[in-house]
A and B are shown apart, each in its own frame.
Chain A
């Protein structure tokens, strides 16, 4: 009876934090998610650079046309830069996080 009470009090003291088994599982899950996020954004980032490679002639044509006076697509470089910053920025953030390079908490 006394032993049961002690077990209960031990669990209660850990209630604020989580039980060791749950804590370990959450940490493991977070760690797996961390790698998945890095890999996911990495794949999208590579896809974006592949897009840039395959459409590089079209992008050059757009720049040339803009320079020659047709301003229809002048915003394309700005949109590309913004999209890359969001996707590649997320990838690089998760990349360093997965490697353990994190800010001081």
Chain B
């Protein structure tokens, strides 16, 4: 029973983060399932089986708010699916050559490079945007994205609503989708590449990029689930317990996006990425030890590093949840106050009109 509660709570927090930034949660859920006794492959497969229904619900919800570009999501999703299968091949090859420690080290290095570069950039941009005091109506397409949008390659141009009905060549979307899928196959969170790439390469606003990422996650998750279900690795009971919590969370995350500005989304995403980076850095000596690239570590130290790393991962999710919750509460209170003032103003105007007519 305690395990069910743990999975429900982790699912809820992961769902909230996913609903808000389009991805996330998987990096804690998989190790959490494994620590509760599931084997590695069953944990990955079950995580995948809860991910695609969650992404489906999240994308439907955010589509209602007009944030999803379905066409962009489907095109990226198709290329991402190809990236997932290629990424799996890469992982299998590394495992065959260097064993499990080799894949762990590869995953950690990918994590560190991607999170440090992309996470740092996104967080810096979020802080810069907040300081500049610009609202959502003053969205500026990044210079690189402007250049990408200006390149015309006949026969490959597609129009997207997310970038004000401008056209972008599908040849630029293909590698972004592919990289998203490869990252998803390696570290289970493709959105850490997909969302920033949509923002800074294609010029999609943060709120729309995170919403569109949910469509990509749905397609990737559906394909991945079919793959693992064919092999009989999906523990649907485990997946549905996590889904029970994560669907409560994904609704809150999606609702939260209607109250925040662009920079909040960037800030949350950058912050989570950098905390996850710290977690990977903590665990790096353990992988180097397993591969015998450094001198032997004390088993107690290894245990401490493992626990510390997992605790830092949990911290990443909890921090995200706290920022989203506080932004939601603050946004709702301000909105209610504005609505009450507007109603009072209208009532006063109506009363004034009636009084004038009577006199």
Q: Which residues of A contact B (CB under 8 A)?
A: 6, 9-10, 13, 49, 52, 56, 59-60, 63-68, 71, 74-78, 80-82, 84-85, 88-89, 91-93, 95-96, 101-104
Contact = CB atoms under 8 A, between A and B. Distances in A.
A98 B52 CA distance: 26
B332 A101 contact: yes
Interface in B240-260: 240, 243-244, 247-248, 250-252, 254-255, 258-259
Contacts of A71: 230
A10 B236 CA distance: 61
Given A92-B247, A103-B255, A81 B240 contact: yes
A91 B302 CA distance: 44
B200 interface: no
Which of A9, A77, A82 gathers the greatest number of chain B CB atoms within 10 Å? Answer: A77
Given A77-B225, A101-B255, A85 B232 contact: no
B259 A104 contact: yes
Interface of B: 49-50, 52-54, 56-57, 60-61, 64-65, 222, 225-226, 229-237, 239-240, 243-244, 247-248, 250-252, 254-255, 258-259, 328, 331-332, 335, 350, 353-354, 357-358
Contacts, number: 111
A13 B353 contact: yes
A49 B222 CA distance: 21
Contacts of B54: 85
* CB-based closest 3 A-B pairs: A67-B232, A85-B53, A66-B232
B333 to A, nearest CB: 12
A66 B230 contact: yes
Contact of A52 (B230, B237, B254, B259): B237
Contacts of A63: 232-236
B331 A104 contact: yes
B57 A104 contact: no
B236 A59 contact: yes
Contact of A103 (B50, B237, B258, B357): B258
Contacts of B240: 49, 52, 80-81, 84
6 contacts: A10-B357, A63-B235, A77-B234, A78-B229, A81-B243, A92-B247
Nearest to A62: B232
A89 B57 CA distance: 6
Nearest to B248: A92
A91 to B, nearest CB: 8
Contacts of A91: 247
Given A78-B225, A81-B240, A89 B60 contact: yes
Contact of A59 (B237, B254, B353): B237
A73 to B, nearest CB: 10
Given A81-B53, A85-B54, 19 more contacts: A9-B357, A52-B240, A63-B232, A63-B235, A63-B236, A64-B232, A68-B232, A75-B229, A77-B225, A78-B49, A78-B226, A80-B240, A81-B225, A85-B243, A91-B247, A92-B251, A93-B57, A95-B248, A101-B252
A78 B235 CA distance: 11
B258 A65 contact: no
A104 B233 CA distance: 41
Contacts of B222: 78
A59 B313 CA distance: 32
A81 B239 contact: yes
Most chain B CB within 10 A, of A68, A74, A89, A102, is at: A89
Question: Which residue among B64, B328, B332 has the maximum number of chain A CB atoms within 10 Å of its CB?
Answer: B332
Contacts of B239: 77, 81
B259 A77 contact: no
